[in-house]
A and B are shown apart, each in its own frame.
Chain A
Amino acid sequence: MTISATLDGSKRPRSGRFSRIVEDRLPYLIVAPAILILLLVGLFPLIYSLIVSFQHITMTDNDTSFVGFRNYAELFRDARLWASLGHTAIITVIALPLELLIGFLMAQLFIDRMPGRQLFVALLVLPTVISPIVAGATWRLMFDVRFGPIGQILSFFAGEPVRILWTVNPHYVYPAIIICEVWQWSPFMFLLLLAALSNVDQSQLEAAEIDGASYFRVLRAIVLPTIAPVIAVACLIRGLDLVRVFDIIWALTEGGPGSMTETISLYTYVQGFSQFETSYTAAIAFLVIALLTVITTLVLKRMELAR
């Protein structure tokens, strides 16, 4: 697998002692800077905040004595925390299947060759690469009750003025967020599924067609098994993103009205940066990490499958 045989062979270039040392340790030397940065920025703060999470530091109280698991025990009594986890779950559970379904339908539409297909695909991808803050801002302008086109379009079809305060009305904030989310990320699913669908064995499809198999039978027996690994990867990448959703909600509703659309990421932010509950926020952060580690493990398993 490796080419160390060549390295250790007699053909090695003649060079000074220093460069030989460098050459021998090269695999480690070139890994070191990257790992160092990851440890410095990734691991070190985590350890630091692990310690902080067992203390009781707030804005007014810089108390560095240890309080054991008090902050963690507090998590279980924090109704707003669990509510925010609930909000996160609602958004994820609704948006993810929608994105998958819409992405799949889009991919079905474009799977067969047609002139100009590349252009359509290139255009349809654009929402996915926009900054989520821009996406949220754009939809906020679109949703505006007076100057936005959504109300205008709805009024046109309803035949009467439709005035919906999308980003304020408790009944419409979730639809607003999910519309924006689905708009931005369905193209992501579309791209991956299009790539996956084009790997489906054409001869099998043709054989099935000759046998007169129904669309859904072909889908279940031939198409889905082939694209299942990609669906898994796509769902888990998107699932992770949705669980930590922050930007578009910040741009659309800022968690409001009240704390109705506050996701776990927003709640963590509020605790850390407007309530300044330093130690408690550190505890929340670890709760989030623990939750996501479970999902991450799943992701990695699926990624290995897809390889």
Chain B
Amino acid sequence: MTFGRLPSRKTRVLALRYLGAVALTLFFLFPVYWLFMISFKTPDEIYHVPPLWVPGQIQFANYYVLFKDGDVVAIANSLIVAGFSSFFAIILGTLCAYSIARFNTGGENLAMWIISQRMIPPIAVVFPIFLVYVYFGLVDGFFGLILLYTAFNLPYVIWMMRGYIVDVPLELEESALVDGLSRWKVIWKVVFPMVRPGLVATSVFTFVFAWNDFIFALVLTRTEVITFPVQLTHYFGGQSNFWAKIAAMSVLGTLPIFVAVSVMQRYLVRGISLGAVKG
């Protein structure tokens, strides 16, 4: 009796690797799956013992409640704050990066100082900033938060965009200058289009950083411009009776990030390693 030819060693290794890959993916995505499932469950299903792994049906009541109670304002706030601050950080940061990359403005020291700003722990600066914000009445306002995230993201943008701009061949800019374009026009019409992929990727990451930040928003908001992570922590109480809201809010606040990062997959490695690893 034969079972036919045994699969070759190569095939078996590949099969094992797939097994490992699937197991890993299940492990790492299970919490995300769980979060999504809770957001679709009815209260009875959420507080069911033993826990149910699949809701009876996909229903959106938990999301509806967020809209009805006005909790989604936090998502809107996050959009405004993260959107504007990324925009400002990208524009100002890219210009600054261009100057540093092409004219070596400020030399090594300026570049080092800028990236060291990125390394300072938020908790160490948030308190001083809070004191100053209280003095100027900037706490719990859009302006203060946008200004803060712009500053917070600037070092990252400058550092990343410097890397992308250095990759642009000098000859292009030189010939544009020879053709009579002003330096300003060269930046807008030659350099920006050349670094567009890097620019887009960097904007996405700055958006994600501002979107995901908790500590600055926790300290600098009260009631008016609460961002989504802060809103999320409001649902933690003595009793865990806001599970539906926690899950639905988390999903609302996470989906945009998933989409953005999936689109930016190619730039992910470079983006999260501060340009140290060019994937």
Contacts and interface: CB of A to CB of B under 8 A. Distances in A.
Interface of A: 1-4, 6-7, 11, 13, 15, 19, 22-23, 26-28, 30-31, 33-35, 37-38, 40-42, 44-46, 48-49, 52, 106, 109-110, 112, 114, 118, 120, 122-135, 137-142, 144, 146-149, 152, 183, 186-188, 191-192, 194-196, 229-230, 233-234, 237, 240, 243-244, 246-247, 250-251, 254, 264-265, 268-269, 272-273, 278, 281-282, 285-286, 288-289, 292, 295-296, 299-300, 303, 306-307
Nearest to B78: A131
Nearest to B100: A31
Contact of A37 (B123, B154, B269): B154
27 contacts: A23-B184, A28-B99, A31-B96, A31-B106, A34-B96, A37-B154, A42-B117, A118-B265, A123-B28, A125-B261, A126-B29, A131-B254, A133-B232, A133-B233, A134-B232, A137-B246, A137-B250, A141-B243, A144-B240, A146-B47, A147-B46, A147-B240, A237-B273, A246-B122, A272-B127, A289-B121, A295-B119
B60 to A, nearest CB: 19
A124 B25 contact: yes
Contact of A285 (B95, B123, B215): B123
Interface residues of B, number: 105
B257 A130 contact: yes
Contacts of A307: 276
Contacts of A243: 121
Across the A-B interface, the 5 shortest Cβ-Cβ residue pairs: A49-B128, A45-B128, A41-B151, A131-B212, A34-B96
Interface stretch (B1-9, B13-21, B65-73, B192-200): B13-21
Given A7-B183, A183-B28, A192-B273, A46 B125 contact: yes
A282 B38 CA distance: 42
B180 A13 contact: yes
Contacts of A7: 177, 183
Interface of B: 14, 17-18, 20-21, 24-25, 28-32, 34-35, 38, 46-51, 53, 92-93, 95-96, 98-100, 102-106, 110, 112, 114-117, 119-125, 127-132, 147-148, 150-152, 154-155, 158, 170, 173-174, 177-178, 180-184, 187, 208, 211-215, 219, 228-229, 232-233, 236, 240, 243, 246-247, 250, 253-254, 257-258, 261-262, 265, 268-269, 272-274, 276-279
Nearest to A240: B119
A34 B93 contact: yes
Contacts of A144: 240
B258 A23 contact: no
B232 A128 contact: no
B223 to A, nearest CB: 16
B236 A251 contact: yes
Contacts of B28: 123-124, 126-127, 183, 186-187
A49 B131 contact: yes
Contacts of A130: 32, 212, 254, 257
